[in-house]
Structures are given as C-alpha cells and as structure tokens.
Amino acid sequence: MGEKILLYRWKAYNYADIIEQFIRMGYEVVEVHQELYNYDVDDAFAARLHDMLDQETYAFVFSVNYFALLAEVCHSRGLLYVSWSCDSPMISMYHRSVFYEENRIFVFDRINYEEFRAMGVEHIYHLPLAANAQRMQYVLREVRGAGAAFRKHDVSFVGSLYEKNAYDELEPKLPEYLRGYFDALMEAQKDLQGVSVIDGLLTPEILERLQEYFVLQRSSEGSFSDLGLVFSVTTLGFKIAQKQRISVLQKLSRQYEVALYSASPAEQIPLAKKMGSVDYWKEMPHVFAGSRINLNMTIPNIRTGIPLRAWDIMACGGFLLSNYQAEYAMFLEPDKDMVCYYNEEDLIEKAGFYLSHETERERIAQNGYEKVKNSHTFEKRMGEMMEILRKTR
C-alpha cells in the first residue's frame, strides 16, 4: 500500500467513486465517520481526529465539501486539507479558515471559485464534478431485477420538491410588505435560467427590515457569512426551487407523460405519475437509461456549475434536458451532447420536439454518454486534482 489518506465521510453520493479512484491511484484510504451538527466547532470530534493523526502518518485529509473544523485541525498540524464540493455555495466556506495555507479547496461552481479568489483565497480551484460511466453501465447490465420495475417514460424527473423549506416556516411571521416583496422576487427568478436577480434585490433596506424576523446565527466566531448570503442560500433558494419544479412539472404533465421519482408529496401535480423515491446505486441508472427525456432542474443556489445529477444522467446513456447553466458550454456541446432550455415555454417546445424526433434524441444521448465516459471521469478529474497538489506543495 502507498500513502494514507484520512477521509471524512458523510452521506454525499460521490464518495464511493472518489474512494475507488484514490485506491486506484495507490493510496490507502482510512475513513472516519461522524455526524456533525456544527461544521465549524466540535471539540470531541476534533480530539478524535488529532488522536488518529497522532497514531498514523497521512498524506492529507480529504472531504467532500469544505468543513472549517477539518481545516482548523489540519492547520494546527501543518497538514494538507483537500476538499471537493458537491454543493454550492457552502456557508461553511465563509469562515476565516478558508485562507489557511494548508487548504486545497476544489469547487464545481466557477462563480463560487471567482468569488473566493477575489477575496484573496490563494488555494482554491475550479474542478467540475464527474461521473462513473463504467459503474453505471455495470448496474444496467447486471442488476436486471432492479430495472424491471422501470418502464419507459416520456419525461422523468428524479429529485425533491423541497416541500420542507425554511421560507414556509418564516412567511407567517413576515409583515405584508416583506411577504409581497419576496413573492415578487421569487416570481421574477422562477423562470430565469443561468442568471440570478436575488442578490441585487436583497437591498440593504430589505435586509434591515428582514433582520427583525430572521435571526442570523453564525456557526462560530470565525464565520463571516452575512444575512443576505444565509437568507438567500438557506431560505429563498430552496423555496424558489420548489416553485420552479412544481410549475414546470404541472405544465409538462398537461401535455406529456411525466414520471416523478421523489419522496415528496405531489398533490399539486395531479397529472404526473408518482413513482416514489429510487435507490441511487441500484435503481436510478435504470430510470435514466429507460426514460426518453431526463429532466434536470438545477437549484438556483448553483449559479454556473453543472450538478452531479446531470453528469449521472449522461453516464447512464440518458438524454439530458436541463435548465441553462453557463458551464455546459465550457465542458459539453449543447444540442450535441445534451439540450438546454431557457424558460418554461422553451422547455415545453423542446420536450415535444425531442419526443417526436427519436433519431436526434438518441444521437444526442449517445454523444453525451461518450463525452462523459471519455472526458469527465473521476480518473481525469482527480488526476487534475493530484497534479495541482503536486505543483502547490
């Protein structure tokens, strides 16, 4: 065995593929599991980490997403801390520890990378997410029993409707003016793809009024998150995503057969077929491969990046129809590898076109699969990561 990596593991879906790739690179991966209620401070877990680091020598500590607690532990020991985000933005990154020399922070949303570079964070890098097409194809070939239950659908959507969101709890407490203002803001953002109006509309005057009803609770003294960021990310973003998803699925299901794979209640979408949730590992690949159109709706918090769901769809050979994100044009060829929509009307029109043009749809799905299989693998992404580590040590 080669050098050891201490890997903090939580419920992120891409950990298994990341660990497999580290092992292929010759590393021995030692996992540590701990549910964290505060990403910045947990004295007992910090002590446990120090104990593990005292007993063995590690090349670096790794986590999916950035944890200030891990950064603090590594900083105190002069040990490299490597993180790769699957969520964006992460409130935990708005912390003084982000400036530590020991960090190597990889984020998949380029606008998030540019924001932190502008703050003066030296060791932050833009690294898109990846997919394991080989594993997906194995599931499609070998796990036949799982696929039998999933017949072809015209349009499928796999994901949450965010029925449990903080805005619904807050709204009854807000005065009429703020409720009306936020309703208008969310309506303005709902059908915009690839552009955000949220930050510009959360003016100092609005935030001053809001702070009477929304208490900013920073996770530690080292946090420099502000009211606008926290409210936008934790509250407005999920509510807008709920509105977007319900509206799109309502309109699509009036014209086409739509299957909704979700644990969320969906009474507001009566015409969609409620299929329940699916297992990420054994069932989801069959949904993506068997659906004529796979719909991706990126949560507005992700400004330019391509979410994991989109990569997974293409890795299964599925046809991807996604809201516009700027980075699709950086790493793929829209209309050749996948298709973007720019508003609800455009989505309805493109869904109808590709449902009635099977040859074009299947060609795009195959192109997307080949592109991901050859160019957007964990081997390539993590090879880029390790090259940066070698150059910056």
Q: What's the average model confidence in pLDDT over 337-353?
A: 97
Q: What is the DSSP string of 106-126?
A: EES-HHHHHHHHHHT-SSEEE
Distance CA 102, CA 98 (A): 9
pLDDT at 84: 98
Minimum mean pLDDT range among 146-155, 160-169, 209-218, 333-342:
146-155
Asked if 166 contacts 238 with a C-beta cutoff of 8 angstroms, the reply is yes
Minimum mean pLDDT range among 36-45, 173-182, 318-327:
36-45
230, pLDDT greater than 90 = yes
**CATH 3.40.50.2300 placement within the chain:** 4-130+378-392
Distance CA 63, CA 73 (A): 13
Give the tens place of pLDDT for each residue, 90-134: 999 999 999 999 999 999 999 999 999 999 999 999 999 999 999
Give the tens place of pLDDT for each residue, 286-333: 999 999 999 999 999 999 999 999 999 999 999 999 999 999 999 999
149, pLDDT greater than 80 = no
150, pLDDT greater than 80 = no
148, pLDDT greater than 70 = no
Query: Please, which pLDDT band fits residue 146 given cuts at 50, 70 and 90?
Result: low
135, pLDDT greater than 80 = yes
pLDDT at 152: 84
Which segments of the chain does DSSP mark as H helices, in order?
15-24, 43-55, 68-77, 110-119, 133-142, 144-147, 166-170, 176-190, 198-201, 204-210, 227-231, 237-255, 284-290, 308-315, 328-331, 344-356, 358-375, 378-392
Mean pLDDT of the chain: 95
pLDDT at 220: 86
Tell me which residue of 372, 276, 258, 266 sits closest to 317, measured CA to CA: 372
pLDDT at 9: 97
Length of the chain: 393
Longest dimension (CA), the chain: 64
Percent of the chain at pLDDT exceeding 90: 92
CATH tag, 4-130+378-392: 3.40.50.2300
Six-digit token string for 210: 């809001």
Q: What's the average model confidence in pLDDT over 144-152?
A: 60
Distance CA 95, CA 252 (A): 42
Q: How many CB atoms lie within 10 A of CB 388?
A: 16
Query: Please, which pLDDT band fits residue 219 given cuts at 50, 70 and 90?
Result: confident
Distance CA 38, CA 92 (A): 9
Distances (CA, A) of 245 to 275, 297, 318, 355: 16, 7, 20, 20
Give the tens place of pLDDT for each residue, 234-264: 999 999 999 999 999 999 999 999 999 999 9
Query: Please, which pLDDT band fits residue 142 given cuts at 50, 70 and 90?
Result: confident
pLDDT at 151: 66
Q: What's the average model confidence in pLDDT over 144-168?
A: 83
**CATH 3.40.50.2000 placement within the chain:** 133-375
Distance CA 66, CA 160 (A): 23
CATH of 133-375, picked from 3.40.50.2000, 3.40.50.150, 3.40.50.300, 3.20.20.70, is 3.40.50.2000
